[in-house]
Structure 1
Amino acid sequence: MNHDIRQVADVTIVLLDTEHLDASNSKEFRASVNPILESHSHVVFDMSKIAFVDSSGCGVLLSCLRELNSRGGDLRLCGLSPQVRSLFELVRMHKIFNMYESADEAISSFG
């Protein structure tokens, strides 16, 4: 799984290049972002291309957040579709993740 990656100061923005994050691709997703998580501490996942997330997708995102937090880093999410945002609110993930409308807002949140 390939992702578009760009760097703004000390923040790494990863445009997740998939329409769904679910049981069918969560392991592949994790393997593809693992090198990014290992080498950067401030990461933004731009989820603007993702239309569907299931429990496996939620789990892999939480795993990414925990890994960064364990090393003093953090993960922000941006560009969530209304459907994905609704799911995150339903399962209370909006209480765990910092979510923003745009990558610029997410970048600014790192201060």
Structure 2
Amino acid sequence: MKLLHRIEGNDVLVIELREDNLDAGNVGAFKEEIQHLVTQLTRVVLDMQGVKFIDSSGLGALISCLRQLKARQGDIRLCQMSPSVAALFELMRMNRVFGIHASCNDAVASYA
């Protein structure tokens, strides 16, 4: 699982997901790494720039992360989705559940 991370703005954790797919094949590793990264910070931006496909287990992992953060009064915002992933989120109405932004800067600024 390729996850890069950095802190931006006012303690916003930006995580770059550098995988083509978020699916049953790698969702376990994704959840494990995300849980480790979000133990300290509650404001998270997930940069999904390279992701071309997400299946139901990938959506479930994102919802699990959102619930974990919400339980600690936090949130996760998504940014830089490919057109196909953005279309899936709209079809599944996940765009109503997650804050989705065109750029990382917009997503980080949304926490201000």
TM-score category by the smaller chain?
over 0.9
Partner of 2:75: 74
Question: Stretches of 4+ moved more than 2 A in 1?
Answer: none
Query: Counterpart of 1:4 in structure 2: which amino acid?
Result: L
Aligned residues with identical type, % of pairs = 41
TM-score under structure 1 normalisation? Answer: 0.97
Partner of 1:39: helix, strand, or coil? Answer: coil
Whole-Å Cα distance in 1 between the matches of residues 64 and 98 of structure 2? 12
Q: Does the CA contact (< 8 Å) of 1:3 and 1:16 recur in 2?
A: yes
RMSD of Structure 2 on Structure 1 (CA): 0.7
The correspondence of residues 7-26 of structure 1 with structure 2, limited to 5 A, is 7-8=7-8, 9-26=10-27
Q: State the 1:20 CA deviation.
A: 0.3
Whole-Å Cα distance in 1 between the matches of residues 62 and 3 of structure 2? 15
Query: Counterpart of 1:106 in structure 2: which amino acid?
Result: A
TM-score under structure 2 normalisation? Answer: 0.96
Q: Does the CA contact (< 8 Å) of 1:2 and 1:32 recur in 2?
A: no
How many residue pairs get matched? 111
Partner of 1:92: 93
Partner of 1:28: 29
Query: Counterpart of 1:71 in structure 2: which amino acid?
Result: R
Q: State the 1:2 CA deviation.
A: 3.3
> Unmatched 5+ residue regions in structure 1?
none
Whole-Å Cα distance in 2 between the matches of residues 48 and 2 of structure 1? 12
Whole-Å Cα distance in 2 between the matches of residues 37 and 78 of structure 1? 17
Partner of 1:72: helix, strand, or coil? Answer: coil
Structure holding more helix per residue: 1
> Unmatched 5+ residue regions in structure 2?
none
1:4 aligned onto 2:4: yes
Partner of 1:56: helix, strand, or coil? Answer: helix
Q: State the 1:5 CA deviation.
A: 0.7
